[in-house]
A and B are shown apart, each in its own frame.
Chain A
């Protein structure tokens, strides 16, 4: 350090020391500064280390499987019979299941989410907004196991009674609950980016005689479209990575629903398969490694989605910055 604070407060003329640093002090200061910085840098790099380790260990456990079994069969076969006499590891049904519940949940969540974001940013006053915001935060804070509990104990029997479905734990059940879980993300990111579009845009539109609805639909939303898309993709990531809700509420049938639009059939996702099978599989068996391969698949998918949302976020920031 360059002397104590006390010494530097004393007027230079009264100090008995010269203002120039001694070589030791200089060296000490140099070392402490740079060593300190390096230490901080290394600590900051733990996140990089963590990501690296995650990939390393998941790949390490999955590699023996991927080397032995054909990747093509892994990705395109719908037969998931891991404990049969001749094990079959086809994840197509699981991938379709994950995609199915994600897409349906986004279909439910996006209209509600964007409308709510628009409502919060453009239509109501600040006071009302500050009352509604906590409600959305509470929705976001409820743990996934509570949503899963609700889905299997309350929603499933209700669905069976009300709509006469043959089974209450199906794709519709899981999609509805996932939509509720993705909503807070979509709303907050969309609302942020809608608010970030400048007032001039809106004022110019009103100046041309447009009604509020026309302004919102034709000017504001298109202007904020990058941020909204980023929010939707983040919501998709939340839905596809969710485990507990789908494990409890989707029925876990490794099938592709036929016909494809029949939501009342049971599906199975990648996440539920990993969670459900892992506890009972022998460590090191092909089944165990196949589950790690499924985890790797999931990781790759969410990584791609992450990059897509990053891209749109950057575009939104750029768009916001220009104006």
Chain B
């Protein structure tokens, strides 16, 4: 018994350094994550022997991984910040952005909420804690449960910049770590309000119109929806033509790629 365990462990250790297939390391946003997952699945199916690892821990971590050369592609739901760019250049990494899809940060509420539209100022007041009950803005008599993404998220950055005008959130805001978690909170809580990427809006939640414009594929594609944003993949320099990284980063231009992006609920950059 002991001998079996020993030999098993030794075999596992001995496997170090054996035939290594081609690997691709992708790190970053939880919003772009599903797209990267789906691309990865497709690529691994059509290129056996290729191994793709996708980590979804946040745009900030993706940028840090690219700067440390720990990943080949960083997925970010926001553009790289100035200090990230500076740090990258200091590390001899030259980030190149590929905008692979368009996304809109949708303000979502429970479907039973009678509110269907809000202005940016109203949303700001809610998140600053000034408005405490839905009936103050024309909704049912229910306490507002404010849910936000954690502060290292790209979705949070977009929301904070475009709607909150960089002001502080109220103290009683609940923080969740991912888009699906935010959606799950709103789905199960009658008084909740949160924001997610458009790929995470389904029949269980309701997306509100902001300043009179609702988030649809058209309004996001032509930028009229106030909180629309591109989703990025960053590489170190422009990828070598014909390499796997190149194919991965330009997959969004192909029909299959756009089909996948649509299937995930996002808006393709062009229409094929």
**Beyond A84-B168, A166-B189, A255-B171, is A280–B150 a contact (Cβ under 8 Å)?**
yes
Write the B151-192 contact mask toward A (1 if CB under 8 angstroms, else 0). Answer: 111001000000000101101111111000000010011111
User: Which listed residue (A81, A251, A266, A280) contacts B58, Cβ 8 A?
Assistant: A280
B8 at the interface (CB under 8 A from A): no
B60 at the interface (CB under 8 A from A): yes
The answer to whether A279 touches B58, judged by C-beta atoms less than 8 angstroms apart, is: yes
**Beyond A279-B57, A282-B63, is A83–B151 a contact (Cβ under 8 Å)?**
yes
Whole-angstrom CA separation of A83 from B156 in the bound complex: 10
Whole-angstrom CA separation of A84 from B156 in the bound complex: 11
Q: Which B residues are CB-close (under 8 A) to A265? A: 172
Whole-angstrom CA separation of A61 from B169 in the bound complex: 28
Q: Which A residues are CB-close (under 8 A) to B174? A: 167, 169, 251-253, 266
Number of interface residues of B (CB under 8 A): 34
Smallest Cβ-Cβ distance to B168: which chain A residue:
A81
> In the complex, which range does the number of interface residues on chain A fall in?
20 to 34
A283 at the interface (CB under 8 A from B): yes
Q: Which A residues are CB-close (under 8 A) to B63? A: 282
A276 at the interface (CB under 8 A from B): yes
B67: min CB distance to chain A, Å: 8
> Which applies to chain A's interface (DSSP): helix, strand, loop or mixed?
loop
A19 at the interface (CB under 8 A from B): no
The answer to whether B191 touches A280, judged by C-beta atoms less than 8 angstroms apart, is: no
Whole-angstrom CA separation of A281 from B152 in the bound complex: 7
Smallest Cβ-Cβ distance to B30: which chain A residue:
A280
Whole-angstrom CA separation of A114 from B63 in the bound complex: 51
Whole-angstrom CA separation of A268 from B168 in the bound complex: 18
B61: min CB distance to chain A, Å: 4
Q: Which B residues are CB-close (under 8 A) to A156? A: 188
Whole-angstrom CA separation of A93 from B169 in the bound complex: 15
**Beyond A166-B142, A255-B172, is A277–B152 a contact (Cβ under 8 Å)?**
yes
Q: Which A residues are CB-close (under 8 A) to B54? A: none
**Beyond A83-B151, A277-B151, is A282–B64 a contact (Cβ under 8 Å)?**
yes
Q: Which A residues are CB-close (under 8 A) to B143? A: 166
Write the A145-189 contact mask toward B (1 if CB under 8 angstroms, else 0). Answer: 000000000001100100000111100000000000000000000
B76: min CB distance to chain A, Å: 11
Q: Which B residues are CB-close (under 8 A) to A5? A: none
**Beyond A160-B188, A167-B189, A168-B189, is A280–B59 a contact (Cβ under 8 Å)?**
yes
Q: A250-293: which residues lie under 8 A (CB-CB) from chain B? A: 251-256, 265-266, 268, 276-277, 279-283, 287
Q: Which A residues are CB-close (under 8 A) to B261? A: none
B175: min CB distance to chain A, Å: 4
A20 at the interface (CB under 8 A from B): no
Whole-angstrom CA separation of A85 from B59 in the bound complex: 17
**Beyond A279-B57, A280-B153, is A253–B64 a contact (Cβ under 8 Å)?**
no
Whole-angstrom CA separation of A85 from B153 in the bound complex: 15
Smallest Cβ-Cβ distance to B173: which chain A residue:
A253
**Beyond A169-B174, A266-B172, is A282–B145 a contact (Cβ under 8 Å)?**
no
Write the A235-263 contact mask toward B (1 if CB under 8 angstroms, else 0). Answer: 00000000000000001111110000000
The answer to whether B64 touches A283, judged by C-beta atoms less than 8 angstroms apart, is: yes
The 8 sampled A-B contact pairs (Cβ below 8 Å) are A79-B171, A81-B168, A157-B188, A255-B171, A255-B172, A266-B172, A277-B152, A281-B60
Chain A to chain B: the 7 pairs with minimum beta-carbon distance, closest first: A280-B58, A280-B152, A279-B57, A83-B151, A255-B171, A252-B175, A280-B60
* Chain A contact residues, CB within 8 Å of chain B: 78-79, 81-85, 93, 156-157, 160, 166-169, 251-256, 265-266, 268, 276-277, 279-283, 287
* Chain B contact residues, CB within 8 Å of chain A: 57-61, 63-64, 68, 84, 87, 142-143, 145, 150-153, 156, 166, 168-169, 171-177, 185, 188-192
